[in-house]
Structure 1
Amino acid sequence: MAEDGLRAGMLAVATADLLDPSFVRSVVLLLDVEEDGVLGVVLNRPSPVPVADVLDGWGETLASPEVFFQGGPVAADTALAVARLRDAAVVPVGFRRVHGRLGLLDLDTPVELLRGSLAGVRIFAGYAGWGAGQLEAEIAEGSWYVVSAEESDVFRDDVGRLRRDVLRRQPGKLAWHATRPGDPGLN
């Protein structure tokens, strides 16, 4: 679906119809969109685990809250770092651009080599992954809204309101879904 507009740097926002516990009310940043599948991380699931308890030296680069985020149900014992460049023209070693100033950061890169080049880092335990055509099928069945991301979406303090705020800024009727209850029959 990349040719139809699905691309890295966009958000997949769970609709009220998506009941999979891994993704209920989630906002997923798409990091890789390829013919063989899609990879992303859930932006609005902070864990209680401070990054400093597991990874030394990353404290000054982390966006608040400085905890691991539950990036998705795949490979939950691995970590992915999403970073924002301070200056789009200055790309440090270990950084792979995804979209604009956003990219993936190799956590094996010595922190000293990154000082001053990053405006924020968020670390995710696990990721969301879809095989070829799987996300496109879920979009077609009404499980996801796909919308443009803003860099600030990735590094918000108040991730509990992220889904609502992303939907509210959308044009037309899509904005109405920002306050839609999970079960409209209970309204």
Structure 2
Amino acid sequence: MIEQIPAKGKLLIAEPFLGDPNFERSVVLLCEHTETGSFGFVLNQTTVLTLKDVIEDEIYADLPLHIGGPVEHNTLHFIHRMGTIIDDTIPIADDLYWGGDFEQVKSLLNMGKMSTDDIRFFVGYSGWGEQQLENELKQNAWIVTDAESSFIFQTPADQFWRNILRRMDGKYKAFANYPTDPRLN
């Protein structure tokens, strides 16, 4: 379903020729959208780092870190689909949650009760001030659609933008085949 109304639990898909290098060919999960602003994570920008590289605690799982956006790269965030098993978690959409008790997360990871199919970690985040996102939508910078946890956790980051567009109809499906730089076509 394609919409133009941003809301918690929606995906923002960057238009093929969005001029912002922070969001080129990005897909952002909106975790919060209010009158005062919006907050989310880029789902398809990876780093060479793992969780073990940024925390001092012992973690047995080797989980990759993603770049959540251009804001505060010194912060660590996570989304998951473990539900309320993790205390203080915030529901985003069906089977999709944000944050929670990190001590519980570490225990679940170390006991093997959580894997990369259940959780994704981010350094930094994406943020918009009051009416900023709405203005970008009026400029057709983003396509808005529903988030599905299975797609989020099972689609490789380097295929995310194209694959989500391929699932859509009409011109959006055609966008998936647009070259990154049309001058090279």
The residue number in structure 1 matching 2:19 is 19
Q: Secondary structure at the match of 2:103?
A: coil
Pairing of 1:51-90 with structure 2 (within 5 A):
51-55=51-55, 56-60=57-61, 66-85=63-82, 90=84
Whether 1:151 and 2:149 are equivalent positions in the alignment is: yes
Instruction: Give the residue type in structure 1 aligned to 2:88.
Output: G
| Structure 2 alignment gaps of length 5 or more | none
8 Å CA contact 1:36, 1:131 repeated in 2: yes
How many equivalent residue pairs? Answer: 177
Deviations 1:117-174 (A, max 9, x none): 7861111000000011111111111211111222123223521111000001012222
Contact 2:94–2:148 (CA under 8 A) maintained in structure 1? no
Q: TM-score, normalised by structure 2?
A: 0.84
After TM superposition, list the pairs within 5 Å mapping 1:1-187 onto structure 2: 5-55=5-55, 56-60=57-61, 66-85=63-82, 90-106=84-100, 108-110=102-104, 111-112=106-107, 116=113, 120-156=118-154, 158-187=156-185
* AA matched with 1:142: N
Q: 1:113 to 1:182 in 2, by over 3 A?
A: closer
CA contact (8 A) 1:17 1:142 kept: no
Give CA-to-partner distance per residue, 1:76-112, whole Å, 9 cap, x none. 1101111112xx5x54313221111111123543333
Q: Determine the C-alpha separation between the residues in 2 that align with 1:173 and 1:143.
A: 15
Other structure's SS at 2:118 match: strand
Contact 2:166/2:176 (CA < 8 Å) preserved in 1?
Answer: yes
> Which stretch of structure 1 is more off in the superposition, 96-105 or 151-160?
151-160
Task: Give the conservation status (yes or no) of the 8 Å contact 1:167–1:175.
Answer: yes
Amino acid of the residue matched to residue 36 of structure 2? Answer: D
TM-score of the two chains, using structure 1 as the length reference: 0.83
Q: Percent identity?
A: 34
